[in-house]
Chains A and B, each alone.
Chain A
Amino acid sequence: MTLSKSDDNSVLLVHAYVDAQLDPANALGITQQMGIVPALAAEAERIKALQQLIHERLPREAAPPGLRARIETSIGGLRQDRARPSWRALAASIALTAMVISTATWLAVGSQQPTMVADSLVSDHIRALMAPEPVDVVSADRHTVKPWFNGRIPNSPRVVDLAKENFPLIGGRVDVVGRTPVSTLVYRHAKHLISLTAVPSESRFELEGRRNINGYNVVHWVENGVSYWAISDLEAKELENFAQLFRTSQTEL
């Protein structure tokens, strides 16, 4: 015996009935049909047997022990709650940033189309400034920062020591461009922070140079198949100086 096409709907209802997804009226209707049509009753028996089998043979596996910790680390800030500043102070700074940004966004959108990458990284930079810590790993030692990225992103970044040039390393964090986690190093100059993000070059963002997004200066260059984005509220000239130092520095791990 085969089920006709018009019985397909009844078959679906049998599945929904076994899954307890039907309202009482429909449940009653399909039970009555199952009493009349043996094929439907048999379908119900098969479903139950299959569910029983799955339940017995395929225990639900928990996530590996380290996964939650890695997620918390990559989210960044999750473990820094203790250092969190007061709500009021943060709310004030967000309100101010929002005001500045909403004005600047108009200009940016109106004049030119900044690439999504730059936009997203400026957001990350602002977010980092608002967070209790702008980095997930705090260290001035490139031998600590570089290995920290191992296992968090596919390629660990080039990290150089520019402390002597007055750009001390603060640490690093993982940002996300599109769906790709990328490394961001954070340097400091006077009281300004610089986020330097390395994006694999397959992203094809080749337009090198300087731009200003929402009041932040962005310097972008491509080097050895890696696309670098330096973002800061530093003056453009100083940020370019930083970029130049980073590019020419040979002190690589």
Chain B
Amino acid sequence: MRLVASGAQNPMSGLDDNARFRSIVMPYIDDAYRLAHWLTGNRTDAEDVVQDASLRAFRAIREFAGGSARSWLLSIVRNTAYSWLRKNRPTAVVTVEDLEAVELENAKPGDPNGETPEAALIAKVDTEQLHAAIAALPTPFRETLVLRDIEGLDYREIAEATEVPIGTVMSRLARARRRLIATIK
């Protein structure tokens, strides 16, 4: 009865669900799709996830309390994608506990004082290699990297979307990038 109950508190807002959905959710369908694509690994599943997430967003539209609409939608997309993965590909989901054991040390790139210019090496990587390397990152690393380096969210937005503190976003991002660089070089 949540829908009707919240309508009772604020009947005017009850009339506006479609309009709210249009202004809060619809502008970020591309972002939602890209995140779903990176999380599920293919386009068909990404579409299903986004469609499912949109329905969930619509039903929860009155719970959106302001702030970044994009983060809000992306957190729903992310949760929907994980439900989907748990159901369809249980082995693909890496829990956070597995990751906290991974030290920054483990993902350390090569000797930073080496004479080979690393930036030049990185620049030579081809698209396929890069794509595969990102796809191979454990999901919490991958989502953080994708939200930052592909989607361009700021740290606070990533923290909201992935429901972790900013400190965790920072360490995941650093680990993700180091792993990625170590893989592609």
User: Using a CB–CB distance below 8 Å, which chain A residues touch chain B?
Assistant: 1-3, 5, 8, 11-12, 15-16, 19, 21, 38-39, 42-43, 45-54, 57-58, 60-64, 67-68, 70-71, 74-75, 77-78, 81, 87, 90-91, 94-95, 97-99, 101-102, 105, 119, 122-123, 126-127, 130, 174, 176, 179, 181, 214
Contact = CB atoms under 8 A, between A and B. Distances in A.
Nearest to A52: B123
Nearest to B6: A98
B51 to A, nearest CB: 6
B126 A50 contact: no
Contact of B55 (A11, A58, A75, A87): A75
A11 B123 contact: no
B33 A75 contact: no
Given A50-B177, A123-B4, 6 more contacts: A46-B122, A57-B126, A62-B30, A95-B8, A95-B11, A174-B55
Contacts of B12: 91
Contacts of A94: 4, 7-8, 11, 14-15
Contacts of A74: 51, 54-55
A54 B130 contact: yes
A45 B119 contact: yes
A87 B91 CA distance: 50
B50 A67 contact: yes
B18 interface: yes
B164 interface: no
Interface string B119-144: 10011011100110010000000000
B122 A49 contact: yes
Interface stretch (B62-70, B92-100, B147-155): B147-155
Interface of B: 1-5, 7-8, 11-12, 14-15, 18, 21-22, 26, 29-30, 32-34, 37, 43, 47, 50-52, 54-56, 58-59, 80, 83, 104-105, 108-109, 111-113, 118-119, 122-123, 125-127, 130-131, 134, 148-151, 154-155, 170-171, 173-174, 177, 180-181
Given A15-B173, A19-B155, A50-B177, A64 B47 contact: yes
Contacts of A62: 30, 33
Contacts of B174: 11-12, 15
Contacts of A39: 112-113
B3 A1 contact: no
Contact of A43 (B11, B105, B112): B112
A193 B108 CA distance: 64
Contacts of B105: 2, 5
A16 B37 CA distance: 26
A62 B28 CA distance: 10
Q: Output the residue of B22, B59, B127, B134 with the most chain A CB within 10 A.
A: B59
